[in-house]
Amino acid sequence: MHPLSRRDFLAGSVAALAAARIQPATASSKTIGYCIVGLGRVSIGYFLPGLKYAPSARPVAIVSRDPRIAAIIARRYGIAPRHIYGYADFDRIADNREIDAVYIALPNALHAEYTIRAARAGKHVLCEKPMSAQVEQAERMVAACRSAGRKLMIAYRCQYEPATLRARQLVRAGRLGRPLVITARFGFDISPSFRLMGETRPEWRLQRALAGGGPLMDVGIYCLNASRFITGQEPAGIQAESSSQPGDPRFRQVEENLAWSMRFPSGLAAACATSYGVSLGESFELSGSRNASLRMDPAYGYASHRLQVTGGGAPLDFQPDFSGHRQFGAEAEHFARCILENRTPRSPGEEGLRDMRLIARIYAAARRT
């Protein structure tokens, strides 16, 4: 099971119904109307219920290829049947003035097409990570949103989560001294198929054409983004090794395991690992020159994240009550406020593009060894 999919997101879930009841019933000039593109595990299980924590946002439309699921979700969130779209008539969202922004929760290789079409339809775009399946797609997404004058944000949920923000603030204030070593891991044992609202579907994460790559694209990206976000530093040198168990049909198209290292110009070194074959937990550790260390565990998933700091001052143990739905609510709210106040999001398209370029370098390094 995907580590980010453990919570119940099936039809009739009590939490989701409660969320739906709390949604404001009518449009307000102070709220941003989101159109949800792709009704799958993350949008049904997390983003939509998380909107109850986003006072400036509300769901107003959905795009789905499954009329049965679309009807259930529309009923649950009070979305009018005329605001349900398919992929073929997606461009009609241009005529719907209640839609200010789209939230794209499709397989990675489809992010670029729907981001570009949404921007051309005049809508702002909140796109799931990884930004795309290839660097060139990510570049086209940034260019399309820029030329349409629309905002693009990549849904790096952890950048809106309080323990991660506290870690970043402490590191940048010098609590650990000079950052010297990072170790980060995120991996799980992937299933070849998954259940969604009573149906069994093959896992697109194992298909290169839809995913663009393996666990690095999906969960390893959290280790990469946290390393950059918490330290504010960009890696220079990269080395990598990937491997797969021979004969495992899950890994015909994407890698099973990937370990990579990054050298930063300041002298900081990072060692990261990701896997679809085995649980690696979800941790981030950073040690600095004041003989002080910071550890986050859990660091990336839907459970409330925990930050512990030792050395360099009084010990800290910080675990705010901020699990999955709140994390999604916080990012949806941030983007809504950015639209309302005409600000650049904290994690704009350019941030996703930086990760995409680094991911391409990590894969290139793994191919060389």
Do 126 and 47 contact (CB within 8 A), yes or no? no
Which one of residues 52, 117, 157, 354 is an interface residue with ligand NAD (CB under 6 A)? 157
**8-25 exposure pattern, b = at least 16 Cβ within 10 A, e = fewer:** ebebebeebeebbeebee
Is 77 labeled as catalytic in the residue annotation? no
Stretch that binds ligand NAD, among 35-43, 172-180, 245-253, 356-364 (CB under 6 A): 35-43
For residue 345, cis peptide bond before it (omega within 30 degrees of 0)? no
Sole binder of ligand NAD in the list 16, 42, 51, 240 (CB under 6 A) = 42
Which residue's CB is nearer to ligand NAD, number 64 or number 261?
A: 64
State yes or no: residue 141 binds ligand NAD (CB under 6 A). no
**Min dist. Cβ of residue 153 to ligand NAD (A):** 12
Does 222 participate in catalysis according to the annotation? Answer: yes
Strand partners, 283: 185
Candidates 52, 53, 77, 129; catalytic one: 129
Q: By C-alpha distance, which of 57, 146, 164 is closest to 102?
A: 57
Number of residues that bind ligand NAD (CB under 6 A): 21
Whether residue 298 is preceded by a cis peptide bond, meaning omega within 30 degrees of 0, is yes
218 near ligand NAD, judged by CB under 6 A: yes
Q: Does 65 bind ligand NAD (CB under 6 A)?
A: yes
Q: What is the 3-state secondary structure (H, E, C) of 72-107?
A: HHHHHHCCCHHHEECCCCHHHHHHCCCCCEEEECCC
Does 105 bind ligand NAD (CB under 6 A)? Our answer is yes
Q: Which of 155, 339, 353, 366 binds ligand NAD (CB under 6 A)?
A: 155
Residue closer to ligand NAD (CB basis): 264 or 276: 276
Query: Is the dihedral angle over the CA atoms 61, 67, 73, 78 positive or is it negative?
Result: positive
* Active site positions, annotated: 129, 222
Residues engaged in binding ligand NAD (CB under 6 A): 4, 38-42, 65-66, 105-108, 110, 128-129, 155, 157, 196, 204, 210, 218
